[in-house]
């Protein structure tokens, strides 16, 4: 794993300082490393759960706003939901949707439906479905998501990798639905 130069310098400095202070012996580095590694895994799991919950709550906000509107009830717009819509790219939102539905697979049409349920105005795209297909293809080509072709109809479905760190690009997952 290549670390950036400033980070390497900082870690080297911290290591030397801890040695000077007698706080960590080299044999204890491994224990500290394993502890930090476990904590990172736990934090990523918590992050994944939060991302899923955020998608659910955003959809609920949109649904309740539509119901209120249909009954003529005025409500104050959610500044938080509006902020997310304004400051997230289409690709970011697709990542969020795929993460929230992991380990499930989604076809592009379902991704589009979820984008609409999150409050996206897709009318600014000449062909929103083609735009979504293009974003998904680019994400797959970069090794960020998995893609499989369904044998029954030849249509493609997509999902995020289980962890936040995808495998190297050479191991794209067109193998099987479980892979």
Q: Could you state, in order of their start, the residue ranges of all structural domains in the chain?
A: 8-171
| pLDDT one-digit tens code per residue, 119-155 | 888 999 999 999 999 999 999 999 999 999 999 999 9
Instruction: Tell how strand 156-160 and strand 145-149 pair up.
Output: antiparallel
Distances 91 to 5, 94, 126, 160 between C-alpha atoms, Å? 30, 5, 17, 12
- Name the helix (H) or strand (E) containing 121: none
Q: Which fold has domain 8-171?
A: Arc Repressor Mutant, subunit A (1.10.10)
pTM: 0.67
d(CA 36, CA 49): 20
Residue 173: predicted pLDDT: 42
Q: Is the dihedral of CA 84, 45, 97, 117 positive or negative?
A: negative
pLDDT in tens, 7-65: 778 777 777 767 666 665 667 778 888 888 999 989 888 888 888 899 899 999 989 99
């Amino acid at each position: 794993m290549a670390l950036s130069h400033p980070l390497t310098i900082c870690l080297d400095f911290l290591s030397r300082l801890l040695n000077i202070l007698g706080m960590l012996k080299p044999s204890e580095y491994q224990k500290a490393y394993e502890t930090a590694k476990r904590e990172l895994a736990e934090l990523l799991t918590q992050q994944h759960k939060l991302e899923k919950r955020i998608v659910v709550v955003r959809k609920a906000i949109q649904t309740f706003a539509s119901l209120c509107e249909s009954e003529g009830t005025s409500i104050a717009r959610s500044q938080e939901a509006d902020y997310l819509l304004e400051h997230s790219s289409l690709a970011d939102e697709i990542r969020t949707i795929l993460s929230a539905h992991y380990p499930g697979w989604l076809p592009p049409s379902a991704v589009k439906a979820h984008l609409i349920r999150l409050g996206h105005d897709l009318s600014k795209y000449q062909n929103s479905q083609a735009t979504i297909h293009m974003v998904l293809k680019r994400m797959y080509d970069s090794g960020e998501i998995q893609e499989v072709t369904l044998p029954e109809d030849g249509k493609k479905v997509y999902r995020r990798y289980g962890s936040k760190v995808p495998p190297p690009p050479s191991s794209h997952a067109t193998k099987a639905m479980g892979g």
